[in-house]
Amino acid sequence: MSTLAETAARGQARRRMRVDGWRWSGRIFLVFMLLYTALPMIWMLLTSIKSGFAAMQFPPQWWPDEPTLASYQKLLDPQNSVGQDFLRFFWNSLYVSTATTILSVIVAVPAAYAFSRFTFPGRNFLFFAVLLRNMFPAVIFLVPLFILMRAIGLVNTHGSLILTYLTFGLPLAIWLLKGFYDNIPVQLEQAARIDGATRFQAFILIVMPLSAPGIIATAIYSFIGAWNEYIYAYTFLSKNEQLTLPVGIQRFFSENTTDFPGLMAASFIMSVPVVVLFLVLQRYFVRALTEGAVKH
């Protein structure tokens, strides 16, 4: 009896050890991933509060001897030329991203609704044609779009960027929103129809409010995509006063590649709006993003 109990106890202990082993390797792994993820960002922040001279030392100052906000002041000061340029890039990015977001939502909402609810001929073909856009890299479309934009007089305007950003914002927006509409019971609309609403009224009054989280998620996605876009802005715009942030900071620092604190400060400021937006609204975003992929 006692030996049996002992064996059972030993077996249990071994099992507990194995469970603990899994849990511990999981924790060690997470610590490793945390370091991999966070250290580059911490190093960006630490460099951004060094002077140009302090950044250029070997071995590096791990913690800045004399932390300074000079780089940030320079970038955000509308009185000097650096600040003027940088702030203009910032507003350009904000303008282009906001316009793209609003237009994406306006165009994608009805399309996604139709793909979710109606069975018109060609529905599947059109839906997958839209999804296929995600397959193609920006570079393939660059030359012809550049020529197209020149033909319709949009080169060197923010309009060319907004129109182009719509093309890669729309497919994902339609996909995200369709996932949301699929989950809203059709019966709700049918009830409204019975009460005398037209299909369009049912859509506006019943479905739209229910899909608000999906619309928020779609808006974040469009905004982040447009805010971070580089290739088209790099190719379509040539005048300094039109540049968006990703291209702007590149022009900026390609002339003066030694100003790493300035470059890191600019990278940080550029990252703040999208990271804040994402962290505040990530619940909606993550749900929308994964909805289509996890269904069985």
* Residues from 44 through 103 that contact another protein (CB under 8 A): 44, 47, 55-60
> Interacting stretch for another protein, rule CB under 8 A, among 2-10, 66-74, 77-85, 165-173?
165-173
> One-letter amino acid identity for 288?
A
Rounded CA separation 226/234 (Å): 13
Nearer to another protein, 212 or 280 (CB): 280
- Residue 29 engages another protein in binding (rule: CB under 8 A): yes
C-alpha count within 13 angstroms, C-beta hemisphere, residue 159: 8
Residue written as tokens 């890039």?
89
> Residue 122 CB, nearest distance to another protein (Å)?
8
Please spell the DSSP secondary structure of 83-94, one letter per residue. Answer: HHHHHHHHHHHH
* Among residues 193, 197, 213, 281, the one that binds another protein under rule CB under 8 A: 193
Counting contacts by CB under 8 A, is residue 10 touching another protein? no
Nearest to residue 245, comparing CAs of 259, 257, 260, 229? 229
Q: Which is nearer to another protein, 2 or 137 (by Cβ)? A: 137
Nearer to another protein, 2 or 58 (CB): 58
Of 24 and 73, which CB lies nearer to another protein in the complex structure?
24
Q: Do the Cβ atoms of 278 and 166 come closer than 8 Å? A: no
Nearer to another protein, 88 or 172 (CB): 172
d(CA 268, CA 275): 10
Contacts to another protein from residues 107-126, by CB under 8 A: 107-108, 110-111, 113-122, 126
Residue 157 is classified by DSSP as S
Near another protein by CB under 8 A: residue from 76, 197, 216, 289? 289
Q: How far is the CB of 69 from another protein (least distance, A)?
A: 19
Report the residue number, 19 or 69, with the smaller CB distance to another protein. 19
Give the separation between CA 247 and CA 228, rounded to whole angstroms: 10
By CB under 8 A, the residues from 236 to 275 that bind another protein are 245-246, 249-250, 253, 260, 263-264, 267-268, 270-271, 274-275
- Within the chain, residue ranges assigned H as helices are 2-48, 52-55, 70-76, 81-117, 123-132, 138-151, 158-182, 186-194, 199-202, 208-210, 212-228, 231-236, 245-254, 260-294
Q: Minimal distance in Å, beta carbon 94 to another protein?
A: 14
Query: How many angstroms separate the CA atoms of 221 and 286, rounded?
Result: 10
**Does 235 sit near another protein (CB under 8 A)?**
yes
Q: Which of 8, 12, 16, 26 is in the footprint of another protein by CB under 8 A? A: 26
Task: Give the other-Cβ count within 10 Å of 144's Cβ.
Answer: 9
